[in-house]
Amino acid sequence: MRDTIRGEGAAQGGAQSTAQIPGNGARATLTRRQFLAGMSALTLAVGFRGGLAVAASLDPAKLPFEPNAFIRVDAHGMVTVVSEYLEMGQGTFTGLATLAADELDVPLDKVTVVPAPADVKKYANPMFASFGWTLQATGGSTAMAGAWKQMREAAAAARMMLVAAAAKAWQVDAATLRVEDGTIVHAASGRRAGYGQFVAAAARESVPTNVVLKQPGEFKLIGSPKTRRVDIPEKVNGSAIYTQDIKVPGMLVAVIAHPPRLGGKVLHVDASQAKAIKGVVAVVEVPGDGEVQGGVAVLAHNTWVARQGRDALKITWDDSHAFALSSDDIYKQFRALADQPGVIAEQRGTVLGAAPDGGKYIEAVYEQPYLSHAAMEPLNCLVRLQGGRCEIWNGEQWHTGDQAMAAQELGLKPEQVTIHQLYAGGSFGRRANPHSDYVRETCRIVRAAHAQGIDAPIKLVWMREDDMRAGYYRPLTVHKVRVAIDKAGNLVSWNHDVVGQSFMQLPKPDSVDPVLVEGSADIPYDIPNFRVTQHAPKLPVQTQWLRSVGHTHAAFVGETMMDEAARAAGKNPYAFRHALLAARPRHRGVLDLVAQKAGWSTPLAAGPQGTRRGRGIALQVAFGTYVAQVAEVTVQQDGSFTVDRIVCAVDCGTVVNPDIVAAQVEGGIGFGLTFLRAGITFDKGHVTQGNFNDYPVLRMNGMPVVEVHIVPSKEPPTGIGEPGVPPAAPAVANALAAATGATLRALPLGDTLRPA
């Protein structure tokens, strides 16, 4: 019986057979550091090699032309682009299609984008490779930056081979041919033919070693405001396929009960009531450890029944070794560390311990909570083990890591694990988990089910509460900052201690986590005496990158402190920053543009009687992209506030799609505004929040008017999915300070201001 699978990533069909599960093998212990820093040099196979691009077939004319790993052209002239990156709403598929279509000179409606399988030899992320990491993954806002040369060269090579084939067929010089909308034209003779006519002949052409790319003046689609997203139709009509949509024959759904406290273990399970529910197939215990929570999973024929079964379980938990701290305990511990000497991350000059003669000295402590990723689609994963091979269907962001981890869990080799990449309903970094926690959890459920004689494919589905309480968060941090202003109002010293859990596995205690201090150790302002130190204490709470990573906490501290320093110096916050950026033209570019577009030099319109209004500015550079924002707020008499308007200037190099740039900045601002009111807190080891009622992500009625202004640039593209996030919260905090005179140093603010 052939398998029938709804949606993309269809599995290879085959007769049903009993899966043989290998032994448990060693527990997977690969860390992010092993993946990112310990892998060998990149073996990227873009396909630009010597030799022929010939596919063996009895009828080559019916096969697509595949000159490299990224481009396919069929006999009808339709183009397929293979994406090594996950499409999770950020517009990557559209960007890749645009790059390829422009170089091939075909209309965008002739291009289809399909996800790449897990194959690090072909699809390693070229931006990660520049750091020496051989890794297929989506993250760090690297898609367009990585594809800018790679995808264009892949498409240009295909175009050159097709033109060469046409030139031989027509017996003319290839230089006399041009391409118009996928049609090769020989003006002198009037001959015209579509790409499809030459795919078989092109496959016999040598792959060019010197690829000629279009010049910016020749672009038709790149940078055009008329280029629309390629994935919108299927997302509007409901045909887009996410992991939650996938079904395979015989599939069971698993819903799991995790321990209420991190590190808790199952002591006893009474599953009688769960098993009595019609449709429940089995109850299995899932081993946990410091990286995978584990617990007790209920297997059923659909999600609703599995959840009913999970909720009917009566579990006695062993919390003797579980995490038992509260958030207040963690803050207290971190504040004490901030007073101790830390590991130096950056230093120049000699920082001051007191105010210079006639000057001022500011000392401040900032606190920011753990944050949940809270993507629209909670984590889920489908695993089928059959015939000594494993297939995974997943909104796949972490191909290399998940493939290796799943293989270790199941006692297989990585090449025996096939990953079918689907759309993801958001991620914000969560699906690129450094320990592949939810993928490994699914594999453990499959293994436990086999022990009970159940060989079915199993899809793990987390409820929102499972997702929010899963123990992987943006780190909680405490920052201690001391700055000195001289009598002339110059910022002459900046001493900054950062305390927070590492985003990665540090090789030794005195190592610097560059991600923890990014945005702090590299602030762009010209300050002669400057030092940043860090403490990275270890806690059972697992942490990982969240959209814009270290900048998410660094920007709030750095940019609100810059405003405090400006006020202490008696200077305008915009002018104060501008003077400190004399050697930074691109920083000044976005700062000047946002000030102009926001009307910074004109008074802010007054609000209704009894309200106070304020305007605030913030600047941050993340992932190579320069962003400045101005926020306007209104504060009511009771201390509640609204964010009315945010103006943003962005310099992200060459813009592939202006509409997507604006959309990503708008979404990033909404994401960053959530920081003002949401946070994950612990009460004696229990996560207090569980859903959007107590973790209030920004509601639609809370979204301000947003204006996005793009700085024209001829530089290569840089990231855009993340850089819009960091300046939003500090710009609002600075606006609130301007309106009220309050000093805001702790997040979340909540619905009513509680000044420090």
Task: Write down the pLDDT at residue 59.
Answer: 54
Q: What would the CATH number be for the domain defined by 341-371+474-740?
A: 3.30.365.10
Q: What would the CATH number be for the domain defined by 32-235?
A: 3.30.365.10
DSSP single-letter state for residue 701 = G
- Let me know: does 720 contact 652? Beta carbons within 8 Å: yes
CATH topology of domain 243-321+379-461: Aldehyde Oxidoreductase; domain 4 (3.30.365)
CA gap 292, 443 in Å, rounded: 11
**pLDDT at position 28 over 50:** no
Task: Write down the pLDDT at residue 752.
Answer: 75
Q: What is the mean pLDDT of residues 107-116?
A: 96
Task: Write down the pLDDT at residue 55.
Answer: 33
pLDDT in tens, 639-689: 999 999 999 999 999 999 999 999 999 999 999 999 999 999 999 999 999
Task: Write down the pLDDT at residue 511.
Answer: 86
Task: Write down the pLDDT at residue 750.
Answer: 81
Q: Is the pTM of this model over 0.75?
A: yes
Same CATH fold, 341-371+474-740 and 32-235? yes
Q: CA–CA distance from 485 to each of 245, 338, 578 (Å)?
A: 58, 22, 16
The H or E element containing residue 184 is strand 183-186
pLDDT in tens, 478-507: 999 999 999 999 999 999 999 999 987 666
Length of the chain: 756
Task: Write down the pLDDT at residue 5.
Answer: 34
Outline where 426-494 has alpha helix (H): 437-451, 464-468
Task: Write down the pLDDT at residue 754.
Answer: 66
SS3 of 252-308: EEEEEECCCECCCEEEEEECHHHHCCCCEEEEEEECCCCCCCCEEEEEECCHHHHHH
Average pLDDT, the chain: 91
CA gap 673, 694 in Å, rounded: 16
pLDDT in tens, 163-182: 999 999 999 999 999 999 99
The 10 Å CB-count burial string (b at 16+, else e) for 490-506 is bbbbbbbbbbbbbbbbb
pLDDT band at 131 (very low <50, low <70, confident <90, very high): confident
Q: What is the mean pLDDT of residues 265-270?
A: 97
pLDDT band at 60 (very low <50, low <70, confident <90, very high): low
**pLDDT at position 394 over 90:** yes
Least confident range of 345-359, 495-509, 510-524, 558-572: 495-509
CA gap 628, 646 in Å, rounded: 10
Q: What is the mean pLDDT of residues 33-48?
A: 30
Q: What is the mean pLDDT of residues 177-196?
A: 96
- Domain locations in the chain as residue ranges: 32-235, 243-321+379-461, 341-371+474-740
Least confident range of 29-43, 112-126, 493-507, 671-685: 29-43
Task: Write down the pLDDT at residue 61.
Answer: 53
Task: Write down the pLDDT at residue 132.
Answer: 85
Residue appearing with tokens 């204006």: 707
CA gap 143, 596 in Å, rounded: 31
Task: Write down the pLDDT at residue 510.
Answer: 79
Main-chain phi, psi angles of 64, to 5 degrees: -70, 150
pLDDT in tens, 75-91: 999 999 999 999 999 99
The CA angle 60-65-70, to the nearest 5 degrees, is 150
pLDDT band at 52 (very low <50, low <70, confident <90, very high): very low
Q: How many CA atoms lie within 13 A of 404 on its CB side?
A: 20
Count each helix (H run) and each strand (E run) in the chain, helices first: 18, 28
Q: What is the mean pLDDT of residues 26-36?
A: 33
**pLDDT at position 11 over 50:** no
Task: Write down the pLDDT at residue 755.
Answer: 57
**pLDDT at position 377 over 60:** yes
pLDDT in tens, 303-341: 999 999 999 999 999 999 999 999 999 999 999 999 999
**pLDDT at position 47 over 60:** no
Q: What is the mean pLDDT of residues 179-187?
A: 96
Preceding omega of 216 cis (within 30 degrees of 0): no
Q: CA–CA distance from 155 to each of 50, 68, 73, 97, 112 (Å)?
A: 16, 9, 10, 10, 13
**Gyration radius of the chain over CA positions:** 28
Task: Write down the pLDDT at residue 133.
Answer: 87
Say whether 437 sits in a helix, a strand or coil: helix
Task: Write down the pLDDT at residue 244.
Answer: 96
